[in-house]
Structure 1
């Protein structure tokens, strides 16, 4: 946990203890989350879903304002492709400029299937930067990349994304955390371990297999406003261990 994130926790959750994070998960957990994400329907009108996403929107706005007060500049990325080549490129450039570029939701949001227009993260916020009014999903991309990838130096691999999710759960209420689990762990497990990636023998191809699809050629998860079962979040939290010397994080 970095100093800025610790300051945020102390301001918003004064009785919450921050601690170093490590992750030890069994492979079948990722597949279980991926399958559950695939099978759970989009349900934005469900009262529990609505409450979780309203809490998430409120809290990511607070996180955005907090980092802005501490000198972090957020800009919409208006070029071609992605703003950064990889996580290392993002970390180096943010470190040297204190500026984070956000790939706008209007330029890409989930799979090639049209995202549901009633998804709560598509709602526009009151934040306007360089003439662009940010959707709440744009704010989420900004705070998640900064607090959960840049500050703790987590990459965009399956492990790095799950570590980033753990960091974000520390910064959120339990209600908002339920939504962020769907938005992070649910989607990244679908992307890396989804049933659509399996071969004819129901095995996940590796780099040496002819039918292996590298991440850069995979489609993104379908966007859904829903909540994954609480038992999966609890199992995820139970996987947290204190890092030992030399453990990659």
Structure 2
């Protein structure tokens, strides 16, 4: 499964040219955005994201990967390497359920990703966000060997987005890149000068201690999606 996807999407030579100014700008937009700004266009985007994610979830199960609701304390994996190893070697993905954590601040109850997906594993009904988290981990991180840092998340989203129709990408950008930028570059992490303290500095907040963003339903201006694509470069085969 992974080999066929990699061959079709062909990420060989893909590098992330991370523009931190862009990341801070996206984080600021996310921070200032209303919690609810759903219109018809965005509703259609979320519907496309949900529909195609359910299809991808079926592919995950068909490939012999067991999705197992996580019932332990905290998160199921210490890092992306442990997650990737579990899926590749044991064919198991432990899923931290949305009901056990969906942002540090409650988002809208009507969030399009909180509805029932119609998918059930081990007797546990999954919401649309659960389904999306599974396919993002498998088709973004595992298939393309990408980590959980900003570069890894950017690359995982960029590659995984190719498996969705263009109509799904505004919702995907908000759900992934908007939240990733806020988590790693948000205004709540910056010092008085607006800079991000480096690791080891007194004001630096390790990723494990950072809050997750509030879940919001809004669309970024199209120019941010276009600028996101400019964060990547590919090497031409010799």
Q: TM-score, normalised by structure 2?
A: 0.93
Contact 2:6 2:143 in 1 (8 A): no
Deviation string, structure 1 residues 56-80 (Cα, Å, up to 9, x no partner): 0001001101221222221111111
Cα distance in 2 for residues equivalent to 1:139 and 1:186: 19
Residue of structure 1 in register with 2:5 after alignment: 5
Contact 1:123 1:136 in 2 (8 A): yes
Alpha-carbon offset, residue 117 of structure 1? 0.5
Gaps of at least 5 residues in structure 1 are 10-17
Alpha-carbon offset, residue 93 of structure 1? 1.5
Query: 1:230 and 1:212, CA in 2 relative to 1: closer, same or farther beyond 3 A?
Result: same
Query: 1:234 and 1:228, CA in 2 relative to 1: closer, same or farther beyond 3 A?
Result: same
Partner SS, residue 218 of structure 2:
coil
RMSD across aligned positions (CA)? 1.8
Cα distance in 2 for residues equivalent to 1:243 and 1:212: 35
Deviation string, structure 1 residues 4-51 (Cα, Å, up to 9, x no partner): 4258x6xxxxxxxx3323221322111111111112223353111111
Cα distance in 2 for residues equivalent to 1:147 and 1:126: 21
Deviation string, structure 1 residues 200-238 (Cα, Å, up to 9, x no partner): 232211113111111111100110111111111111112
Residue of structure 1 in register with 2:112 after alignment: 120
Partner SS, residue 113 of structure 2:
helix
Q: Map 1:68-87 to 2 at 5 A.
A: 68-87=61-80
Residue of structure 2 in register with 1:40 after alignment: 33
Partner SS, residue 120 of structure 2:
strand
Count of aligned pairs between the two proteins: 235
Contact 1:40 1:226 in 2 (8 A): yes
Cα distance in 1 for residues equivalent to 2:217 and 2:141: 23
Q: TM-score, normalised by structure 1?
A: 0.89
Partner SS, residue 122 of structure 1:
coil
Residue of structure 1 in register with 2:145 after alignment: 153
Aligned pair 1:92/2:85, yes or no? yes
Residue of structure 2 in register with 1:201 after alignment: 193
Contact 2:36 2:108 in 1 (8 A): no
